[in-house]
Structure 1
Amino acid sequence: MMCVIAFAYKTGRLGPLVLLANRDEYHRRETAPLDWWQDHPGTLGGRDLEGGGSWLAVDSRGRLAAVTNIRDGYPVKARLSRGTLVERFVTGDMTALEFATELAQSTGDYAPYNLLFGQTDDLFHFHSRTGRITRVTPGVHTLSNATLDTPWFKCQRLADQLSCAPRPPSEDDAFEWLYDRHAAPPELLPNTGVGTALERLLSPVFVEARDYGTRASMLLTVSARGDIQFAERSFGLACRETGRRRYTLRPGQMIPPGATKGAVS
């Protein structure tokens, strides 16, 4: 699951879309890093090899989706992985509103979630606890484990960086913002029912624990001509960086199975 997202949407200064995100997960969970999807040419994203699906993906038609869990202290066993929602929307053909109708009818199949989805120039937010669908308005927005624009400490730190940026951030700047390990002071901790110690552990933008933490940081930008730049920085145990990947996706671009384009380090 993605655990914090901040994005500047249709702002004149930062362009059509600049999205920053960290994915927090158990280190034992098997994951494929950012890459072209061989079974869906023209689609980019990381993949969950255990539950299926993805946490953030985009395709050459401009379809984008990202998912976060809702943390409310009530564990829910679900039949399906929330990451499959990202895959289904990005690789499918339903409009965002058609997909939202289906989401509202199937919330019981998934643990609670937020879904940011739509075309890169027409985004929506769905909150599964309330069944509410919202069209995203221009501006700087955040999404973590409550609902859209809930002012959690980690969200505000990223939002402040985007709001003050004079231009779209470089990859190095974005990854520095996403590596922010400052914990929230006690008075700014949310109360999601998991206890103060865990709230504090999860409060930084970048989370580090013995067997759990930030596994990937991502920067996705959309230019005025529709080109999408997608970069990912991966981490292993003890916050060790394990690699970086960056790709460019142009409107209508289809990468055939077996092809590799982009930069990997």
Structure 2
Amino acid sequence: MCLINFAYKSHDQYDLILAANRDEFFIRPTAKADYWKEVPGLIAGKDLEQGGTWLGVTTEGRFAALTNYREVREKKDEKSRGELVLNFLKSDSSARDFLNRVRDRRADYLGFNLLCGTVDDLFYYSNRQDTIKKIEPGIHSVSNAFLNTSWPKVERGRTLVEKTLQNEKEDIIGELLDGLTNDEKAEEQLLPETGVGIELEKQLSPMFINMETYGTRCSTVITISKSKQVTFCERTYVQGQKTFEDQVFLFRIGK
């Protein structure tokens, strides 16, 4: 993922409301979200190049999602960051214990931000900040810098979640999915400086990205109610266009 926005324990009906976009090269082979035969109870998309995933949930209530940390750095023999999400979802370790082990081998990966845990115990870790943080109730967002770093797309993502919750419409998922297609570019004076150059910073600044070879491949909205009912909706786009197909999964944690 390249943008994750979420409300955690800040709604009277939901413990978690998450709205995220995955940005990737169009050429990279990907499978749409589904149950994984090799990992019973796991729902996630799959990176067919490396075998990992960027976001997933399990029917036992485990959750993980990842964004890349934007930096200009030559890739050497680092491991795929998608294995971090998959390894947590396959394990029975607590989030804190898992992240302590990840921390010990943080140099094995290029920069990342990782959210993992359950709705009762959710944590964040970046190997470029090297601090394990317990997520506090509230509305949070992370793109390709650290958690809640105030980039334009981060602020738009937080605002999208805030307004959706304030409107109290029945179709929360539809409103969030529609909002995630906002392709407005940031004004130049608001752009971050990550070393990629001003023109690329501008192309990467919207919530929904559409470049020639790279862009938003899918959007995902997950809600987990107070009664542990989970709705997982993935909207897959046709190569940077807003033509889409939805996959929806419904289950109750532990059932």
Using the size of structure 2 for normalisation, the TM-score is 0.95
Instruction: Name the counterpart of 2:223.
Output: 221
Once the two structures are TM-superposed, the CA of residue 252 in structure 1 deviates from its matched residue by 2.0
Amino acid paired to 1:228: V
Q: Is 2:150 the counterpart of 1:151? A: yes
Contact 2:7–2:16 under 8 Å retained in 1: yes
8-17 or 145-154, larger mean C-alpha shift: 8-17
Q: Which runs of 4+ in 1 moved over 4 A?
A: none
Contact 2:14–2:224 under 8 Å retained in 1: yes
1:166-220: CA deviation from partner (whole Å, max 9, x where unpaired): 2375222111110000000011100000000000000000000111100000100
Contact 2:209–2:240 under 8 Å retained in 1: no
Q: Secondary structure at the match of 1:237?
A: coil
Instruction: Name the counterpart of 1:263.
Output: none
Where does 1:242-257 land on structure 2 (aligned, <5 Å)?
A: 242-253=244-255
Where does 1:100-249 land on structure 2 (aligned, <5 Å)?
A: 100-164=99-163, 165-166=165-166, 167=168, 170-249=172-251
Paired residue total:
252
Return the alpha-carbon distance in structure 2 between the equivalents of residues 235 and 78 of structure 1. Answer: 31
Return the alpha-carbon distance in structure 2 between the equivalents of residues 232 and 153 of structure 1. Answer: 24
Instruction: Name the counterpart of 2:80.
Output: 81
213-222 or 104-113, larger mean C-alpha shift: 104-113
Once the two structures are TM-superposed, the CA of residue 75 in structure 1 deviates from its matched residue by 3.3
Amino acid paired to 1:193: G
Return the alpha-carbon distance in structure 2 between the equivalents of residues 100 and 208 of structure 1. Answer: 33
Return the alpha-carbon distance in structure 2 between the equivalents of residues 217 and 126 of structure 1. Answer: 22
Where does 1:16-35 land on structure 2 (aligned, <5 Å)?
A: 16-35=15-34
Return the alpha-carbon distance in structure 2 between the equivalents of residues 78 and 10 of structure 1. Answer: 39
Amino acid paired to 1:105: D
- Give the % identical residues: 38
Instruction: Name the counterpart of 2:49.
Output: 50
Return the alpha-carbon distance in structure 2 between the equivalents of residues 100 and 78 of structure 1. Answer: 21
1:138-165: CA deviation from partner (whole Å, max 9, x where unpaired): 0000011010000110111110121223
Once the two structures are TM-superposed, the CA of residue 79 in structure 1 deviates from its matched residue by 3.0
Return the alpha-carbon distance in structure 1 between the equivalents of residues 220 and 198 of structure 2. Answer: 28
Contact 1:60–1:249 under 8 Å retained in 2: yes
Return the alpha-carbon distance in structure 2 between the equivalents of residues 19 and 63 of structure 1. Answer: 14
Return the alpha-carbon distance in structure 1 between the equivalents of residues 181 and 240 of structure 2. Answer: 13
Contact 1:210–1:237 under 8 Å retained in 2: no
Return the alpha-carbon distance in structure 2 between the equivalents of residues 201 and 175 of structure 1. Answer: 21
Once the two structures are TM-superposed, the CA of residue 110 in structure 1 deviates from its matched residue by 1.1
Return the alpha-carbon distance in structure 2 between the equivalents of residues 46 and 28 of structure 1. Answer: 16
Which ranges in structure 2 are unaligned for 5 or more consecutive residues? none
Once the two structures are TM-superposed, the CA of residue 24 in structure 1 deviates from its matched residue by 0.3
Using the size of structure 1 for normalisation, the TM-score is 0.91
Instruction: Name the counterpart of 1:257.
Output: none
